[in-house]
Amino acid sequence: MSEIGSETNPLRVAIVGAGPAGFYTAERLFKEKNIFVTVDMYDRLPTPFGLVRNGVAPDHQKIKSVTKIFDRLAQKPEFRFFGNVELGSDVTVEDLRNYYHQIVYTVGAQTDHNLDIPGIDLKNSHPATEFVAWYNGHPDFRDYVFDLSQERVAVIGIGNVAVDVARILCRTRDELMETDIADYALEQLTNSNVKEVIMLGRRGPAQAAFTPPEAKELGEMAGADAVVLPEEAELDPLSQASLADADRGTMRNIEIIQELAHRGLSGKPKKLTIRFLVSPTELISNEAGEVVAMRMVKNELYQTESGTMRPRATDQIEEVPVGLVFRSIGYRGLPIPGVPFHERWGVILNEKGRVLDSESKEPVLGEYTAGWIKRGPSGVIGTNKPDAVETAECMLADLAEGKTLTPAHPEREAVTAFVESRKPTYVSYADWLKLDELEIAIGAEQGRPRVKFTRVADMLKALGKA
Ligand code: NAP
């Protein structure tokens, strides 16, 4: 047989996970001159785009336009999508080795970091990741229940996900109508009783994890005033001293926070309070086991030897009544059966995207990773591009050295028959485009960008696959 990567024997790549990291990996591989590549992209959901569809806040429609780039890639005859096919249950890594020269895992970080405090598992205390998936219409989460009859909500953490959650809780119906938020979430949020959202940062304004555009947006909501306590907007002496080395983002965050601290309330129906230097220590319940209050401790900062500012508890305790709590302290990857995993970091064990054997720490032949499951849950969508390029370039370098798998069935047609045998209701890219068209058409009737299908059964029914 001719060389792998030639026109008659293209490099056959399986990418598992149809989010940005997967598409950017495919993009880089397709760009390589003189190497013929075919990509089959798998996803456990019938819909592509991962967190762009199920994570990016619905009121950030512009960010979602990145899917146009992915759409163009998907039109290439060398690209195929096998949606509604789960690695681990419908197909295994061993199966993929039978059909591909290289396999790339781009499955993202599918769970959250837990917060180890008493009461965290009480009724009405949830991971923010579940709420985000719920309001975005993720089929696995659409039936989750969040008690929006509560008046006060705490969001623990001040990263961009916490900001998204706080903002969505504060949005007016008119604001939400301009989004593709799941239709049930639109109704429930519109009828919610939420009057105040409290976001908790364990460190100070100079260490906030949110980015300036997101912070600024909090001060521009139609139906909610964003407030900061003036004493918490002031920098502590250590942070003040570190400003000389601060980047532009930090300086801008401080500016925005101090502006909010001096602005005061304007009488909007909802209030978002952003707190600094506080850590929850306990959630307190009523007899029904529901959260009714949160105990928290005031922190002070200290500097570690490496120069990082860390929070340390003081003896000042405070209790605030809250009826609903979302913890938003970071996502975390889950292991894939048969793929080496770094438990503590929550990522696939890898070096520059080459999967490493757990024992020998040597590269596993033909297996790669990119995105959050490679580097952890950091950065914006665009961060995945250089990350995926690094992985794809390792793949191409290994190909040049003849380091690929030797699949028993490298023919493209063999895969279709195989997937069909395992998952007759798999969804192709052409199928997805039909769903996309339907969602947009239903959205247009309501003056919204789209109304999402949120049940797999409904998607399959619409495609005549039920
Ligand atoms: P993140 O940016 O890592 O923020 C995590 C937050 O949780 C930080 O405020 C962190 O505080 C806090 N935290 C961690 N452990 C804690 C603890 N034990 N107690 C209290 N607070 C704790 O994570 P994320 O918000 O999940 O976002 C993930 C990535 O997606 C980020 O890179 C983010 O920028 C990106 N994203 C971007 C957008 C956007 O561009 N609009 C939207 C959503 C997400 P410390 O800083 O003190 O550790």
Per residue, what are the HEC states of the chain? CCCCCCCCCCEEEEEECCCHHHHHHHHHHHHCCCCCEEEEEEECCCCCCHHHHHCCCCCCHHHHCCHHHHHHHHCCCCEEEEECCCECCCECHHHHHCCCCEEEECCCCCEECCCCCCCCCCECEEEHHHHHHHHCCCCCCCCCCCCCCCCEEEEECCCHHHHHHHHHHHCCHHHHHCCCCCHHHHHHHHCCCCCEEEEECCCCHHHCCCCHHHHHHHCCCCCEEEEECHHHHCCCHHHHHHHHHCCHHHHHHHHHHHHHHHHCCCCCCEEEEEECCEEEEEEEECCCCEEEEEEEEEEEEEECCCCCEEEEEEEEEEEEECCEEEECCCEECCCCCCCCEECCCCEECEECCEEECCCCCCEEEEEEECCHHHHCCCCCHHHHHHHHHHHHHHHHHHHHCCCCCCCCCCCHHHHHHHHHHHCCCCECHHHHHHHHHHHHHHHHHCCCCCCCCCCHHHHHHHCCCC
Residue owning tokens 């999402």: 452
CA of 329 to the centre of ligand 1 (A): 6
CA of 210 to the centre of ligand 1 (A): 7
- Whether the Cβ atoms of residue 395 and residue 378 lie closer than 8 Å to each other: no
94 with 242, same domain: the answer is no
Q: How many domains does the chain have?
A: 2
Domain membership of residue 440 (yes or no) is no
CA of 109 to the centre of ligand 1 (A): 13
185 with 317, same domain: the answer is yes
CA of 127 to the centre of ligand 1 (A): 13
Q: Which of 280, 297, 330 is the C-terminal boundary of a domain? A: 330
Short-list 191, 142, 56, 137, CA closest to 443: 137
Q: Helix 160-170 to helix 128-135 angle, to the nearest 10 degrees?
A: 50
At 185, which CATH number? 3.50.50.60
At 161 the pLDDT is 97
Residue owning tokens 């040049």: 400
User: Whose CA is closest to atom 46 on ligand 1?
Assistant: 209
* pLDDT digit string, tens, across residues 24-66: 999 999 999 999 999 999 999 999 999 999 999 999 999 999 9
* pLDDT digit string, tens, across residues 207-257: 999 999 999 999 999 999 999 999 999 999 999 999 988 999 999 999 999
- Residue 2 pLDDT grade (very low, low, confident, very high; cuts 50, 70, 90): confident
Domain membership of residue 50 (yes or no) is yes
Does residue 114's CB lie within 6 angstroms of at least one atom of ligand 1? no
169 with 281, same domain: the answer is yes
At 466 the pLDDT is 77
Structure tokens at 51: 């967190």
Domain membership of residue 231 (yes or no) is yes
Domain membership of residue 459 (yes or no) is no
Does residue 47's CB lie within 6 angstroms of at least one atom of ligand 1? no
Domain membership of residue 79 (yes or no) is yes
- Whether the Cβ atoms of residue 69 and residue 28 lie closer than 8 Å to each other: no
103 with 127, same domain: the answer is no
**Cα–Cα distance, 315 to 172 (Å, whole number):** 39
96 with 187, same domain: the answer is no
**Cα–Cα distance, 169 to 151 (Å, whole number):** 11
Question: Residue 432 pLDDT more than 90?
Answer: yes
25 with 134, same domain: the answer is no
Structure tokens at 115: 């917060």
Does residue 377's CB lie within 6 angstroms of at least one atom of ligand 1? yes
Q: Which domain holds residue 214?
A: 115-330
Q: What are phi and psi of 327, to 5 degrees?
A: -95, 130
CA of 372 to the centre of ligand 1 (A): 13
277 with 183, same domain: the answer is yes
The residue-averaged pLDDT of 356-365 equals 97
Short-list 389, 433, 422, CA closest to 87: 422
To test ligand 1's pocket by mutation, which of 125, 308, 329 has the most ligand atoms within 8 angstroms of CB? 329
Average pLDDT score, the chain: 97
Amino acid at 459: M
- Whether the Cβ atoms of residue 15 and residue 43 lie closer than 8 Å to each other: no
Q: Do strands 291-303 and 309-321 pair parallel, antiparallel, or not at all (unpaired)?
A: antiparallel
Q: What are phi and psi of 219, to 5 degrees?
A: -85, 5
At 348, which CATH number? 3.40.50.720
* pLDDT digit string, tens, across residues 179-193: 999 999 999 999 999
- Whether the Cβ atoms of residue 161 and residue 328 lie closer than 8 Å to each other: yes
Does residue 161's CB lie within 6 angstroms of at least one atom of ligand 1? yes
* pLDDT digit string, tens, across residues 254-306: 999 999 999 989 999 999 999 999 999 999 999 999 999 999 999 999 999 99
- Residue 339 pLDDT grade (very low, low, confident, very high; cuts 50, 70, 90): very high
CA of 208 to the centre of ligand 1 (A): 9
* pLDDT digit string, tens, across residues 234-244: 999 999 999 98
* pLDDT digit string, tens, across residues 401-427: 999 999 999 999 999 999 999 999 999
pTM, whole model, 2 decimals? 0.97
User: Whose CA is closest to atom 2 on ligand 1?
Assistant: 159
174 with 307, same domain: the answer is yes
Domain membership of residue 341 (yes or no) is yes
* pLDDT digit string, tens, across residues 362-399: 999 999 999 999 999 999 999 999 999 999 999 999 99
Q: Which of 303, 330, 357 is the C-terminal boundary of a domain? A: 330
At 443 the pLDDT is 97
101 with 139, same domain: the answer is no
Chain CA centroid to CA 139, Å:
15
CA atoms within 13 A on the CB side of 250: 13
To test ligand 1's pocket by mutation, which of 53, 161, 372 has the most ligand atoms within 8 angstroms of CB? 161
Q: Which of 330, 351, 366 is the C-terminal boundary of a domain? A: 330
Question: Residue 1 pLDDT more than 70?
Answer: no
- Residue 195 pLDDT grade (very low, low, confident, very high; cuts 50, 70, 90): very high
* pLDDT digit string, tens, across residues 96-154: 999 999 999 999 998 999 899 999 999 999 999 999 999 999 999 999 999 999 999 99
Question: Residue 345 pLDDT more than 70?
Answer: yes
98 with 129, same domain: the answer is no
- Whether the Cβ atoms of residue 314 and residue 299 lie closer than 8 Å to each other: yes
The residue-averaged pLDDT of 438-455 equals 97
**Cα–Cα distance, 349 to 355 (Å, whole number):** 6
Domain membership of residue 436 (yes or no) is no
203 with 86, same domain: the answer is no
Residue owning tokens 């500016």: 255
313 with 173, same domain: the answer is yes
Domain membership of residue 457 (yes or no) is no
